[in-house]
Every structure is written in C-alpha cells, then in structure tokens.
Structure 1
Amino acid sequence: HRHVCGQLRSATDAAAVALARRQHHRTQMSLWYAKFGAYLLVLYAWWQVCSSYFEPEIVTVHRRAEYEDNYGATPASSVLATPTAAAVTVSSVEAAAKLPMQKIGGGSATKVVAATAAETVEKPMAATTLVAAKSAAVSAVVPAAVPAAVPAAISASAAVPLIVGDQSHCPASRRPFHTLLTAQGSIYNGWQARIMYHHWIKQRAADGPCTEMSGFTRLCPSKNGEPDGVEAYIPTIFVAQLTPEVLAKYGHFGVLNRPHSVVEFFKNPELRKRITEEYVMIAETDHVLTRPMPNLATETEAAAHSFGYMHAGSHHQKVVELVNKDPNLSWKDLQPIGPSPLIIKIAELEKVAPRWLEYSYKLRADPMPARLIQDWVLEMWGYSIAAASVGIRHKIIPGYQIEPNAYARTAEDFYKNCYIFHYTYGIEYKLSGTPQGFNTIGEYSIDKRHYGGAYPPPNLDPPPDGANPSTRWLWHAWNSAILAAGDTWPATN
C-alpha cells in the first residue's frame, strides 16, 4: 500500500512538474509573440514616418489632366548647339510672344520655340513624329552642324554669363547668383547634366529678365582636363581630375573630385574671373529645378538644405578633432548641411574650399570616421566641418529640395513647395501601381543607375496608374528634356 501510494505521489509530482513546464513555455511564447508584435508595430510606425516624410497629403486619385495643367507645357525643342546659339522653351505660344529675345554670350538673339502640353504630354510615344514636325523650327535656331571645339580654348570658351532681355529696369535689390554645376566627364553624369541644364534654362526664362538666376557653368574634372563633348550644349570649364593613383589611396572615392575641382577652379585666375556674380549656387547633375529660384542666401548667411543623416552628436567630437585641432571647435558648431544644394558668396566659397578638400581627404584616409558616419557622405562632413571652422553659417531652407521615392505621399502640386527635385533614390513600383518595396528593382523603375553606360532612351514608358505625383513629374521632366534635345541626344543601347 505504501509502495502504491508512493508511486501515485511521484506520478502526481511529475504531472505537476510537466504542467508547470508547459505553463512556463506558454508564458515564454506569449512574451515572445508580444515582443515580436511590438517589433512589427515599431517597423510599421517607422514605415509610416518614412513614407510621409516629404508630404503629409495622401494621394487618392490619379488625375493626369490636372497634373499636366499644373506642370505646364512640354517644350518642343531647346537644343543648345554652341555657347552662342540656343533655343529657349516657354510654357505656351502666347507666353513666347511676350518673352524677350535671349542672347547668350556674344551671339545674336535667338528665336523662341514653344509647344503646347497636348503636343507632347498626351502623345508621349510619338517621339519621331514630334521631332520631325519641329525640325523646321529647330533648324531656324540651331546650326545644322555643331562646329568642333578648339581644344586649346575649351576650358575658357563656354563659361560666359547669359543675358536675358533688358535688365535696366530691374530692382536694385536684385542679387544675381551664378549656378556652378559640379559634374564629371562620364556618360552617366553627362546625360544628367543635360537634363539639369534644360530645366535650368526653362525656369530661368519663366522668371523673366530680372531673374536672379544669372550665369551657368558646368565645372567638370576630366582626364587631363580634356573635353567630353557635353560642352557643345552646356557652358563648361574643365579641370584635370584626380589621378587613379591618388584616388586609390582613398578607396577610389570619386566624390573627392568635387572639392578638388572647386579648388582647382580658384587656382586659375583666368577661370575665376569668368564668374562675375557675388553669389554662386553649387548644384549637382541629378537636380531638376521645379520652379524659378531666387537668391535664398543673405548678406550674413549662406543658404543650404538640411539632411537628416548630417546631424552631429557628442560622439562626433573625435571626428572633428581628427581634422581640426582647434580646441574651440565643437561638434555643436556643425550644421546638418552639405556642399550642395548651396548658395554662398563666392568669396566665402573660395575661403572654405581648401579646408573642404583637406578635411575630406583626412576623413576618407582614417577608418574611424566611417564607423561613426556613413562613409559615402564623408565629403559632406568635410564641408560641414570646414564651414564651421572658418565661421560660415547657413540658413536652412525648408523645401530647398525633395528626394521622394515610391512611398512618398506627395501632393499634386508638390513642385510649388520646393525648388529642386533630387532624384538620388530609385523609384520602384509594381505594375499595379503599388510600391515594389525597399532595396529591390521594381517592375516599373525610374533610377538614374540604370543608365551608367548609355543615355536614357526617348519616350520612357509612363509610370503605372496609382504612382504618386512626384514620380509622374520626374518621368515628364526626363522625357521633355530628352525630346527637346532632338537628334543631339545620343542613341541608347
């Protein structure tokens, strides 16, 4: 009897232990599921923040007609054959009749070529027909053959300020600025530069003769300072790029050519004197102007864009001390800005440029900064620290530029609230019109990286229905610039 009772007690104890273990396991699983659910909730919240970062308004209806009205007309042709001949595009034939004749450099005034939106937006697939229909108008503006540039004069021939109409009646408060487009002599940068310049010309013409968008120069580091062919269409200054041997010491970080080219520009008095404006704007090839831009800088502050990944913290003090030993220079002095987009007095740019280059070299040469900073923005940090070290302060401009992806909830008239569309990110969609997802190439994709070795083709397919307005705007901006180039746009593979 005692033996049987003992066995029963043992069995009961074992059952209790097993039950306790099961309960503990269920408790642990419940906690795990709760943590996993909380993790998913945080991810969802973060996705919502990212997707609505640029615009709070939600896109609910695909309104193509309204979009076309908001954007304006597509230019028929604005081929720039030489620095002394150009066609200027405006939004309508009526506007063209009111626009003053445009003169570039020492050449004669050119005619204005215009088209209505219906000609190119409603029929985006008829590129050959469109170009043929406009060939007569283009031939009246652009020489049939582009003369070969004289190698010895290339670095100096194109950087001539543009003149628009009669500026004698412009207000005394007008503060012109010169756009300095930093680029490289590659196919990838070349086609982007042409799209950028096309829209710069368009917005400048729309702003009238008293615009503060004065001159334009493409600053291009190339092998031995040799021309790349794009100077036939964009006023360009060439400087010798960093050699492969130098870049190899810094992990082949090609972005170093940007501060390098600016420093080389200021070293050459013949190049420097070609910019007569007091202010200069540094732009990039993947910038598209969305509207005319005034001089956003002030007498005491440069104008810059705030980047979310450029905010400094106390842990960045060692980065500051790596490049500058001044005990009075603190991470608190840094602003979350980069060297582009930027409007700054040219005298201040000349002052900060050597340190910008020096600090960029130092940040790239040491492995420590890359552990604290995304290594692809080290040159931007070089500028931010250099500017702080010489006392240059920047006015942060809300809406200076936007960088929307497929998730951005942009409004139909988003372009009225910014100045630059920076297409640095790929825009990826499923054909259903929903975003493809992060870090994937979409079934429909607009990404500059697809065209590293060849120019984009004319008449790119439009985005799927449901794509946000900013995607449709960028597609239109690319297409209109490509079609405007006509036969001068290289064939694609």
Structure 2
Amino acid sequence: MYYWYKKIKEMPGSDMGEFTRILHSGSPDKLMEEIPTFVADPLPEGLDRGYVVLNRPWAFVQWLEKAKIEEEYILMAEPDHIFVNPLPNLADGIQPAGFPFFYIKPAEHEKIIRKFYPEEKGPVADIDPIGNSPVIIKKSSLEEIAPTWVNVSLRMKDDPETDKAFGWVLEMYAYAVASALHDVHHILRNDFMLQPPWDLNVGKKFIIHYTYGCDYNLKGELTYGKIGEWRFDKRSHLTRPPPRNLSLPPPGVPESVVRLVKMVNEATSNIPGWDTSTNG
C-alpha cells in the first residue's frame, strides 16, 4: 500500500496529503523505520474479546487527540488497499465520501439497529451502507464521530444478538450508525474502490481492495470457493509477506486480477530487503 501511495500521490490529479499508519498494538515495530506511524494503545485487555478490529475506533480517537494533523480532510484506508489512480478529494465540503458495501444493509436489520439508533433520529434507511474505510472525511467531522464510533462498537459487541448478526462487520455497522447519529451522511461512490475477482476492470476507479481470494483454473475460469490451479489470496501470506515475482494469472483472467498481481510484484521488487523481511 505505502509503495503505491508514494507513487500515485505525485501524479497529476492527486489531492493526497501525508500518510500515517495507525498501529493499535501499543508497541513500536520495525516497519516504523519505513512508514510514518502513530502507535495507539489497544483497548484494555479482554475488552475486544478476540475481535481485534474493535481497537480501530479507539485508535482513531487517540490519533485525533494526540497527533499533529495538518490536513483538513482525512482518508481512512486499510493495508489491503492499493492505489491505482490519482485520488482527488471526493468529499464535498462537510459531506464525506464513502464506498457502498453490498453486505452492509441497515434496513434489513432494523430491529437490531434501533437498539443504537432511536426512532427520533429518523428512518433506518438514512444510515449509509458503508464502513469507515475507504472514507474521505473532514477532520472536524471525524473528531465528532470517533468517540461515538467507539461507544457504539463496544455496545454492539456487548449485545449477543447484534454480535451474532453482524459478526466480522460489526465495527463497520458501528461507524455507519455513529455517523448517522451525528447527522453525517456520505456521498456514495462506487468508483472509490474495486474488489477483484468480482469487479473485472480497473477503469477510472481509485483503489483495489484485495480482500477476496482469486482462484482460477488454467483456462482462466473462476473457481471461487475452491482452491484454484492458480490463486492469489492474502490469507496465503498471514505469517510471511508474499514472495517476489508471483506468477501471473493464466490467459482469460480479468484485467483487475492481472493488474493487482503486477502491482504487488512491482512493489515487492522495489522495496529493499523484501526477501528477508518478516511480519511484525
């Protein structure tokens, strides 16, 4: 991510500012020598109950309170995002921009949502189908939302019905609800991000999100849910970074997947010491 941030930032049409990696382990790591990093304290032991993402909103609260942030707008992004086109400021004044996720459906969970979003605030349909990332938002707005995001996340995790219904996307729902509680509504930008293998072409979109496994047979046919003869899946590299020079997909695989692998290969070939590095 950081390699492509540095490269894309300098291209015409980019409004990208400085970069901060927010590390919520509470302890420095060796990547801090390479990437500008803010070390945040994790939640008190046991409070996240194994759901490590619950530390994210608390880390943002600390960063906003303690760091010197010169930019007026903040892009929240994640390590499995790769910038593919120069990113302008997609926000419009005080209205932030976000990406609509097909699986964030507040209206289908109205009974649960009402535990955290009272009727006097308006219809559940007013809650955006987003998470906190990718989002471009005014710093002053995020400063208001972040403490509520923490509180809603913790309350959702404490509620067994909500925890079961939302699972690994609970913190995303919490951000969406917290934003709506502050009457902050996002411009929904489908071009903010693409997600291979489902999105086939990069086009003019800005970020590749490589969250899904890309499995294909040698005919270039998708075998999603079954390990392919050719595959790229970040979960294959949980203990060590991927090696340099990953094999390219077979003919017939969508351009988005080919572009993703080529970009990973370019980054790893240009980052010093990649072959000898390990996670942490």
In 2, distance between residues paired with 1:492 and 1:431?
A: 31
Report deviation, 1:416: 2.9
TM-score by length of 1: 0.54
1:214 corresponds to:
17
Q: How does 1:69-84 map to 2 (within 5 A)?
A: none
Q: Secondary structure at the match of 1:399?
A: helix
Query: Does 1:358 pair with 2:161?
Result: no
Give the match for residue 323 of structure 1.
116
Alpha-carbon contact 1:220-1:237 (below 8 Å) kept: yes
CA distance in 1, matches of 2:78, 2:195: 13
Alignment partners' CA distance in 1, 2:275 and 2:20? 20
- Tell me how far apart the structure 2 counterparts of residues 349 and 328 of structure 1 sit (CA, whole Å): 19
Quick check: 1:312–1:334 contact (8 Å CA) kept in 2? yes
Alignment of 1:431 onto 2:218: yes
Q: Please, which of 462, 474, 482 is the counterpart of residue 248 of structure 2? A: 462
Question: Could you say what secondary structure the match of 2:228 adopts?
Answer: coil
Distance apart, 1:310 and its partner CA: 1.4
Question: Would you say 1:226 and 2:27 are equivalent positions?
Answer: yes
* Partner residue in 2 for 1:302: 96
User: What is aligned with 1:203?
Assistant: 8
Taking structure 1 as reference, are residues 205 and 361 closer, same or farther at Cα in structure 2, changes over 3 Å only?
same
> Which residue of 2 is the match for residue 337 of structure 1?
130
Retained in 1: the 8 A contact 2:121–2:181?
no
The separation in 2 between residues aligned to 1:469 and 1:325, in whole angstroms, is 45
- Structure 1, unmatched stretches of 5+, are 1-195
Q: Which amino acid aligns with 1:309?
A: Y
Aligned to 1:393, the other structure's residue is in SS state coil
Offset, 1:332: 2.3
Distance in structure 2 (CA, Å) of the matches to 1:364 and 1:246:
9
Distance 1:409 1:279, change over 3 A: closer
Distance 1:259 1:487, change over 3 A: same
Q: Does 1:377 align with 2:178?
A: no
- Residue 401 of structure 1 deviates from its aligned partner by 0.4
Counterpart CA distance in 1 for 2:243 and 2:278 is: 6
Note the 1:79-94 alignment, pairs <5 A. none
8 A Cα contact 2:215 2:230, kept in partner: yes
Provide the rounded CA distance (Å) in 1 between the counterparts of 2:70 and 2:273: 34
Alpha-carbon distance change, 492 to 232 in structure 1, aligned in 2, over 3 angstroms: closer
Task: Give the aligned residue type for 2:268.
Answer: I
How far off is 1:324 after superposition?
4.1
Q: Find the partner of 1:235 among 10, 25, 36.
A: 36
The letter for the 1-side match of 2:62 is E
Question: AA paired with 2:87?
Answer: M
| Contact 1:455/1:490, CA 8 A, preserved across alignment | no
What is the SS of the residue equivalent to 1:309? Answer: coil
SS in 2 for 1:280: strand
Query: Does 1:387 find its partner at 2:174?
Result: no
Q: 1:93-132 counterparts in 2 under 5 A?
A: none
Do the aligned partners of residues 243 and 447 (structure 1) sit closer, same or farther apart at CA in structure 2, a change above 3 Å counting?
Answer: farther
Q: Matched residues in 2 for 1:457 and 1:492: separation?
A: 11
- Between the aligned partners of 1:325 and 1:385, the Cα distance in structure 2 is 11
AA paired with 1:448? K
Distance 1:324 1:393 in 2: 14
Task: Give 1:396's match in structure 2, choosing from 188, 192, 195.
Answer: 188
- Structure 2 residue aligned with 1:476: 262
Partner-residue secondary structure (3-state), 1:219: strand
Kindly indicate which of the two structures has a greater share of residues assigned to helix. Answer: 1
- Determine the C-alpha separation between the residues in 1 that align with 2:128 and 2:199: 27
User: Any idea what SS the aligned residue of 1:245 has?
Assistant: coil
1:18-75 alpha-carbon deviations (Å, 9 max, x no partner)? xxxxxxxxxxxxxxxxxxxxxxxxxxxxxxxxxxxxxxxxxxxxxxxxxxxxxxxxxx
Please report how far the alpha carbon of residue 448 of structure 1 lies from its aligned counterpart in structure 2 after TM superposition: 0.5
Contact 1:333 1:388 in 2 (8 A): yes
In structure 2, what is the Cα distance between the partners aligned to 1:284 and 1:474? 16
Q: 1:441 aligns with which of 223, 227, 230?
A: 227
8 Å contact from structure 1 (residues 329, 389) kept in 2: no
Q: Measured at CA, do residues 228 and 201 of structure 1 come closer, stay the same or move farther in structure 2, by a change above 3 Å?
A: same
Q: Match of 1:420, as an amino acid? A: I
Alignment gaps of 5+ in structure 2: none
Q: 1:458 to 1:267 in 2, by over 3 A?
A: same
